[in-house]
């Protein structure tokens, strides 16, 4: 199959406008004849459901949680980017576009990224109109701060709770549509399969998580906004319910999975402190605006931080990257922290941490100013570690945070299955091999508020639909498949818990497909995952029944998918014999230990096609063509 990204012609700055004009429209009276399923109510799904319903479509909205508001998006802390240039420091749409393409190590599609930068400004206006309490400066104008990979301040924020505030905005808009009867809300439902007929996505099978019943829901189009798959590593900053299931089941139905090995490891997380831990906590990147990262110069120096004099500290990011300093992008900061710890200079009991120190900022700006900016983050840190970050430096270490890979989509955000659209973190589109901070919220809301309302209309208006309802025999078959999988999981009755398998998988992924990778390790990981998967289907224990609320069963289904998907990630990492962004193969690095790309051979998005149970997936390549940004070795020095 030939991948067609459907990128409109013409100059990059005019592509989206031109496309908007060329897209077919559904007339207002006809919109109510179309049903659209939206799976997920995070920023991508919540904004899409609200907007599509506002336009007049019948929307059915699904989520795992008891309320749309509990989506993982609520955890987002630091902010959302936009090219408003309010601080007058040289920002522009073009600069945001350039920074994002470069930040992604030239592995994203130019046209999508440019559109994202263009739309970024509309998002801020829209959210302000909704009443999002963005931080403001003394004169009342919206305030900005800096995030990694940029030399301008373009990040809008609401203290350390930006995701929560933005989600409340989307949720309010969604609630209005629920009350008006335009959105039917189905909370506590987990999508287990996609129904495809005549090559078109026409519905989903979900499990009602309260009573265990399977349900079939039909529609003219399905929009997946089911978030990222970082929890494949077991320990990550993601919400516990984040999973790959919906996307992976769609992959098995024909949607290609793009760049699955592109994972983001965030440099500033509270370090792992024990083997019983099931969650890691992020300390927002915004802290690197004021916090200084350092380790003792001498690996043998085990004195408390306060006793190490200035001259004996290594501010390694400021040293190595004078232009960007502590605000280098995440992949770069993470690799450098790991390098320091590998040299034995890590701090704390495990030696797997570096300092993030606010002493200078407090001296310069006062404690009150720092508290105003980051108070809730400092409080969170103190609650977890029992240490007061106003008095001693935070200890931080990289952790899995975000997944740039996802289902392949074209410029319309449509996957390789007609009528299956994918948005937010669940798609692969805009961040290349490394996402810049504060760009995920921007992308999710661009997709939901400003792109899908048009592109889904273009699809519906230009497509003929057979009369298909939930009574269709093939739909029943899809449900039967989902049911037999659940029955099989419950019948194994083995000796190891689901979490036990998940933890072991996570360690394999972290050790061999994490921050640094090599071919031997990846081969080994593949073998270990296959073994673990075989054992899982023989020896997992899932207590309870399928006709009830059963979280072990929910988790078992998700871990079963991770056990297949993890191998796809490894396969993708093995196939990409270069380093780029978050994909760092030790064999391909510059003298300064930076990722060394191979543009001649790997300047493409790798889109994997499922070819059957025992068969190797097949890779399809979408060439990435850079006409507006020159391909170059990324430098933040």
Q: How far is CA 295 from CA 171, 305, 637, in A?
A: 43, 9, 20
Least separation in angstroms between residue 89's CB and ligand FAD is: 20
Is 335 in contact with 590 (CB distance < 8 Å)?
A: no
Nearer to ligand FAD, 26 or 332 (CB): 332
Beta strand pairing call for 183-186 and 58-62 = parallel
Nearer to ligand FAD, 205 or 293 (CB): 205
Nearer to ligand FAD, 107 or 401 (CB): 401
Nearer to ligand FAD, 439 or 585 (CB): 439
Helices 551-575 and 245-252 sit at what angle, rounded to 10 degrees?
Answer: 60
Buried (b) or exposed (e) across 256-266, using 16+ Cβ within 10 A?
Answer: bbbbbbbbbbb
What tokens appear for 326 in the block? 């502590």
Question: Dihedral sign, CA of 169, 175, 180, 185?
Answer: positive
The length of the chain in residues reads 637
What tokens appear for 289 in the block? 């605006």
Least separation in angstroms between residue 454's CB and ligand FAD is: 19
Which strands make up the sheet holding 58-62, listed edge to edge?
183-186, 58-62, 35-39, 221-224, 420-422
Least separation in angstroms between residue 206's CB and ligand FAD is: 7
Nearer to ligand FAD, 78 or 149 (CB): 78
Least separation in angstroms between residue 112's CB and ligand FAD is: 15
User: Which letter does DSSP use for residue 10 in this model?
Assistant: S
Least separation in angstroms between residue 237's CB and ligand FAD is: 4
Least separation in angstroms between residue 80's CB and ligand FAD is: 6
Cα end-to-end span (Å), the chain:
42
Nearer to ligand FAD, 26 or 280 (CB): 280
E-assigned strand segments in 6-115? 35-39, 58-62, 80-81
Least separation in angstroms between residue 415's CB and ligand FAD is: 15
Interface positions with ligand FAD (CB under 6 A): 39-45, 62-65, 71-73, 75-80, 162-163, 189-191, 225-228, 237-238, 242-243, 245-246, 282, 401-402, 424-426, 438-441, 444
Residues identified as active-site:
330
Nearer to ligand FAD, 200 or 439 (CB): 439
Which strands make up the sheet holding 292-296, listed edge to edge?
263-269, 394-403, 354-357, 292-296, 313-314
Residues contacting 263, CB < 8 A, separation 6+: 230, 233, 400, 402, 403, 404, 405, 513, 514, 569, 582, 583
């Amino acid at each position: 199959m030939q991948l067609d990204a459907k990128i409109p012609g013409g100059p990059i700055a005019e592509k989206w406008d031109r496309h908007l004009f060329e897209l077919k429209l559904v007339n207002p009276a006809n919109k109510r004849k179309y049903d659209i399923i939206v799976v997920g109510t995070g920023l991508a799904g919540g904004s899409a459901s609200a907007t599509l319903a506002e336009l007049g479509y019948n929307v059915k909205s699904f989520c795992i949680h008891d309320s749309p508001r509990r989506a993982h998006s609520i955890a987002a802390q630091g902010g959302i980017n936009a090219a408003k240039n309010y601080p007058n420091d040289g920002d522009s749409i073009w600069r945001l576009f350039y920074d994002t393409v470069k930040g992604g190590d030239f592995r994203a599609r130019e046209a999508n990224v440019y559109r994202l930068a263009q739309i970024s400004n509309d998002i801020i206006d829209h959210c302000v109109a909704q009443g999002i309490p963005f931080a403001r400066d003394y004169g009342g104008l919206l305030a900005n701060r800096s995030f990694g990979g940029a030399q301008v301040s373009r990040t809008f924020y609401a203290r350390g709770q930006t995701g929560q505030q933005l989600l409340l905005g989307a949720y309010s808009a969604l609630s209005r549509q629920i009350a008006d009867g335009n959105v039917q809300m189905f909370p506590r439902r987990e999508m287990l399969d996609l129904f495809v007929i005549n090559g078109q996505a026409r519905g989903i099978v979900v499990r009602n998580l309260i009573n265990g019943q399977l349900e079939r829901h039909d529609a003219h189009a399905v929009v997946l906004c089911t978030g990222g798959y970082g929890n494949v590593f077991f320990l990550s900053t993601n919400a516990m319910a984040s999973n790959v299931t919906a996307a992976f089941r769609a992959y098995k139905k024909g949607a290609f999975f793009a760049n699955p090995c592109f994972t983001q490891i965030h440099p500033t997380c509270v370090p792992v402190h024990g083997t019983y831990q099931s969650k890691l906590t992020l300390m927002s990147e915004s802290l690197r605006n004021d916090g200084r990262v350092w380790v003792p110069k001498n690996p043998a120096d085990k004195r408390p931080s306060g006793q190490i004099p200035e001259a004996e500290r290594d501010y390694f990011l400021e040293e190595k990257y004078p232009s960007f300093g502590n605000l280098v992008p995440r992949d770069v900061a993470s690799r450098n922290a790991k390098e320091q710890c590998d040299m034995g200079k890590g701090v704390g009991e495990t030696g797997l941490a570096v300092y993030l120190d606010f002493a200078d900022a407090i001296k310069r700006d006062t404690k009150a100013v720092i508290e105003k900016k980051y108070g809730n983050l400092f409080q969170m840190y103190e609650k977890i570690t029992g240490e007061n970050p106003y008095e001693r430096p935070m200890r931080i270490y990289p952790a899995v945070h975000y997944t740039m890979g996802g289902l392949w989509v074209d410029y319309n955000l449509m996957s390789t299955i007609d009528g299956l659209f994918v948005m937010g973190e669940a798609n692969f589109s805009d961040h290349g091999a490394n996402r810049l901070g504060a760009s995920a919220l921007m992308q999710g809301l661009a997709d939901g508020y400003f792109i899908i309302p048009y592109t889904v209309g273009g699809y519906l208006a230009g497509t003929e639909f057979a009369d298909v309802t939930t009574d269709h025999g093939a739909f029943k078959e899809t449900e039967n498949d989902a049911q037999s999988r659940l029955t099989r999981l419950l019948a194994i009755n083995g000796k190891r818990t689901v979490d036990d398998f998940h933890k072991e998988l996570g360690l394999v992924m972290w050790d061999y497909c994490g921050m640094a990778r090599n071919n031997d390790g990846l081969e080994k990981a593949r073998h270990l995952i296959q073994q673990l998967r075989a054992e899982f289907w023989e020896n997992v224990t899932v207590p309870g029944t399928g006709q009830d609320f059963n979280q072990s069963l929910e988790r078992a289904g998700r871990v079963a998918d991770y056990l297949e998907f993890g191998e796809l990630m490894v396969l993708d990492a093995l196939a990409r014999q270069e380093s780029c962004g978050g994909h760092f193969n030790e064999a391909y690095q510059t003298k300064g230990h930076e990722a060394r790309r191979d543009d001649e051979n790997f300047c493409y998005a790798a889109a994997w096609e499922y070819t059957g149970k025992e068969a190797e997936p097949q890779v399809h390549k979408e060439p990435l063509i850079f006409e507006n940004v020159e391909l170059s070795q990324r430098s933040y020095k």
